[in-house]
Structure 1
Amino acid sequence: MQPLHTSAIHQPFVVLVHGFLAHRIFLALLQWRLHKQGFRTLNWGYESVLQSIESHAERFAERLKILDADPTIESIHLVAHSMGGIVARSALDRFRPKKLQRFVMLAPPNHGSFIAAILSPLIGSLLKPVAELSTSPGSRIHSIGMPESIEVGVIAAGWDQLVSIESTRLPIPHQHVIVPCMHSSLLFRRDVVALICEFLTRGTFVENRSESHDTRLSPSSTSTP
């Protein structure tokens, strides 16, 4: 993984989005590692607990408009964890930046979370995202648009206890890789940073390979966090 050596305007601009019950501090290490690899970054934060996904998406879409109009930014990539990926998907329904190129989703509940389905009857009326991320047929998650016409890579956590691997997949062409770790551990692993950088740079998780694929990383083939 070699750092990019380009002038500021040519440096890819990466927007990071955290998930539910989280804070942008959770992405600080990932942000720093991406910066060390030559990416310009913005760690976008939001109050994830009480407000709806749509309210977060509206704010994020407004930020994307500002970035898209910034003459010092040549290209935009998104890296989002868990519900952050759903917020980003919903924002792209509202506004699709012309400069947007690639989108990496980390453990995204693209078809809902089975934990949210369990908790929704108990706390869904208070914590709106819980109800919206439920796997139930009427959940909001099922009506959010797909990130078509851009390159999308999904990194799933093989030992995820919140989101099933099947729920991370998209019904559109995309690349998919599974890393043997827990849901939030993806944010702190060096091998995940390498995968993100590879995809943002080349549009693939595997060097010299461009077609869509599904790869499982075994513990013996990955670096330690």
Structure 2
Amino acid sequence: MQVLSQWRDKAEMLTPPFPWDRPQWNDRDGPPVVLLHGLWRGWRAMQPLARALAGEGFSTLNLPYPSSRMPIATLADRIRSQVEKIAGDQPIHFITHSLGGILVRALLAEGVPWETGKIIMLAPPNRGSEIVDWSKRHPLLHTVLGPAGRALGSDGIPGSLPPLPAGTEAAVIMGNRSSVPVFKNLLGLENDGIVTTAKGRIDGLAGFSVINADHTFIQMHPETIRLSLHFLKTGEWVG
């Protein structure tokens, strides 16, 4: 049954985004956690993690956004407006995947009207993505990435964002397994098939862990869930 459940979760996570997708708010009366998917993904890519959080009493806002069609600044504004709708007296936590981590950093750089809690970034290209760098030599692929994706190169927006605000409790989880041999070999160094582990590091982190996960499914990895829940509950990183 466990294997069947894992396959169900993977199929759900690979469901493409749809124009009619809407924010998924699950109010459990617990601390709110905003979930942000990555490039070309939809809210369902974060849903197994959302279920795990809800099972521990957290309220979750699983946000879809048009990652392939709009630039990072516009996406950050859209996310801000959605988060403001559920903001209250409790700090708002974030768990992000890939591009989602850059969007949270962009939000914090502009300032937010709510109290930000803990931030957990999964496989973020915090220092840019070598795959995006490589795509510049392949115009069709580079175009398909969209404006936000094209901005994730080593010389792009991630490197121009300011440090995390003082007092921010943030952690990063990177993967070191790839199911795409071509990209794994292209990157060379330890990587998850899309981002090298070294590119996930930024100053000011409370924790940094590398786990045996690939870029696509790192959100549902048991170690990701364990580390995330413990950090949200205690503020301690035990990776």
> Could you state the TM-score of these two structures normalised by the residue count of structure 1?
0.80
Alpha-carbon distance between aligned partners in 2 of 1:26 and 1:54, rounded to the nearest angstrom: 22
What do the CA deviations read for 1:19-53 (whole angstroms, capped 9, x no partner)? 00100111111101110011100001101112111
In structure 2, the partner of 1:186 is: 218
- 1:131-150 equivalences under 5 Å are 131-135=150-154, 137=155, 139-148=156-165, 149-150=167-168
Q: How far 1:97 sits from its partner (Å)? A: 4.2
Q: How does 1:86-125 map to 2 (within 5 A)?
A: 86-121=102-137, 122=139, 123-125=141-143
Is the CA contact (8 Å cut-off) linking 1:16 and 1:31 kept in structure 2?
yes
Partner of 2:16: none
Runs of 4+ more than 6 Å apart = none
Q: Which residue of 2 aligns with 1:220?
A: none
Find the counterpart in structure 1 of residue 32 from structure 2. 13
Match of 2:42 among 11, 16, 23: 23
1:155 corresponding residue in structure 2: 173
Q: Deviations over 1:175-222 (max 9, x none)?
A: 10111111122111222111100111112222xxxxxxxx5xxxxxxx
RMSD, aligned CA:
1.9
2:69 paired residue number: 50
99, 108, 119: which one aligns with 1:83: 99
Worse-matched range after superposition: 89-98 or 148-157:
89-98
| Identical counterparts, % of pairs | 26
Shift of 1:89: 1.0
The separation in 2 between residues aligned to 1:120 and 1:129, in whole angstroms, is: 14
Give the CA deviation at 1:65: 2.8
8 A Cα contact 1:58 1:94, kept in partner:
no
Quickly say closer, same or farther: Cα 1:107–1:162, change in 2 above 3 A.
same
Query: By how many angstroms is 1:125 displaced?
Result: 4.9
Unmatched tracts of structure 2, length 5 or more: 1-26, 178-191
Secondary structure at 1:77's aligned position in 2? strand
* TM-score where L is the length of structure 2: 0.76
SS at match of 1:199: helix
Specify the code of the residue in structure 1 equivalent to 2:38: G
